Amino acid sequence: MRIPTLGPRGEGWTVVQVVLMFAIIVAGVAGPAWADGVSWLRAAVAFPIAIVGSALLVGGMVGIRGFLTPFPRPLDHARLQVSGAYGRVRHPIYGGLILIALGWSLISSALTLIFSFALMLVLEMKSRLEESMLAQRFPEYEAYRQRVRWRFVPGIH
């Protein structure tokens, strides 16, 4: 299946991602709360998920440093990052965003889960496009992809 680029750098995917992240925040703040409020069980699950997500997000941002771009197409001066968080998962920033959104959903509103699921699907498609662009740019990408099997979260394919 060919993923549409939605712009020369994949800008359209980034726009959809940002809109969904905004919808997740708004639905969590202004959407209908869970019927039983913030239950201790959901909170006990949500906070560790969000903490792991934050660690992935920060680890990915620190690891990629000066090559960070919101678009799927790598920067012209970029190099392939394969260590740190990128030694565990291929897309730690996306994985972090997904886990943070899931944690937020579990404590805020069931409506937020719908937008979080949509974000997960968009990031799945965006990551596939990004991987095709990385493979074109870096001949060693396929070996890296085989070595680092997890896309977003360690232990989950």
The burial class, CB within 10 Å (0-12 / 13-18 / 19+), for 137 is: middle
User: Within its chain, how far is the Cα of 48 from the centroid?
Assistant: 17
On whether the CB atoms of residues 133 and 74 are closer than 8 A, the answer is yes
- Note the pTM of the prediction, 2 decimals: 0.94
Q: Looking at residue 156, what is its pLDDT? A: 79
Question: For residues 152 and 90, what is the distance between their CA atoms, to the nearest angstrom?
Answer: 6
Q: Across the 157 residues of the chain, what is the mean pLDDT of every consecutive 10-residue run?
A: 91 98 97 88 96 97 94 95 96 98 96 97 97 96 96 86
Nearest to 101 by CA among 5, 12, 18: 18
Q: Looking at residue 36, what is its pLDDT? A: 85
Nearest to 116 by CA among 27, 30, 35: 27
